[in-house]
Structures are given as structure tokens and as C-alpha cells.
Structure 1
Amino acid sequence: MDQLIRLLMRTAYWVRHPPSRMQMYVMAAVVVIAVLCVAIEAFWGWPSGLRVNRVPRDLGFRPL
């Protein structure tokens, strides 16, 4: 199913059956955490200890 149609169907369901107050708090917290992560990445950058280092393809191991 197309992503846009799925989103519109979910939105229509939420209009007919609104989520509880606790679900709304959880969704808001997830959005705030995501925005905070993006802001940290944009202003200070990602810590070098959490970066993924590429492994060379040829490690010298040759199967028989």
C-alpha cells in the first residue's frame, strides 16, 4: 500500500477514534526526543566515539 494512503487512513482513524491522553503524552515525548537528537546533531555534531568506521574489504583472509 502506498505510504501516503496509509498515512491518510491512519489520520482518518485517529479523527474517528482519538487516542487517550496518555498515548498523546507518549507521542509528544517521542517527537520531542527526536527533535532534540536532530538539534544536537545539527549544532554540536555526533560524538566521534559513536561513529561507524568502515572496515576494509580485504582483511588478508583467503578461504581455501
Structure 2
Amino acid sequence: MSQLRWLLRAKRWAQNPPSKSRVKFVFAIIAVCVALYGVEKLVGLPDWMQVNGASKIKVRPVP
């Protein structure tokens, strides 16, 4: 059933495609995400975003 839904959606897109500005907007968002990923891989995360491992706080069960 989902294949039929995707075919109907593709038909609607073919009949009424998105505007050029919408396509540019989506590609700009994708480019920003790829740039952020690249900066993260090249430079790394700041210290405040790192996970410090297990917590040192011990929680005692309530008697």
C-alpha cells in the first residue's frame, strides 16, 4: 500500500513541482548540516559537549 502512496506523491510532484526558492532553501539547509559535520570531524567537539563517562554520584536505595 505504501508503494501506491509514494507513486501518487510522485505524480503530484511531477504535476506541481516545488518552486526554485524552496529547492534552494532545502539545499542550503543540507549544505549547512554537511558543513557542521565536517567541522565536527576536523576540529572536534568542545569540552563542554563531551561525555565524561559514568557518573561518580552514587544513589543509595531507599530502605
Give the TM-score normalised by structure 1. 0.59
Structure with greater contact order relative to length (CA < 8 Å, sep ≥ 6):
1
Divergent runs of 4+, >3 A? 13-16, 52-55
The number of aligned residues is 59
Contiguous gaps of at least 5 residues in structure 2: none
Larger radius of gyration: 2
Q: Give the match's secondary structure for 1:38.
A: helix
Give the TM-score normalised by structure 2. 0.59
Contiguous gaps of at least 5 residues in structure 1: none
Output the amino acid matched with 2:23: M
In the alignment, which residue of structure 2 is the partner of 1:39? Answer: 38
Name the % identity: 22
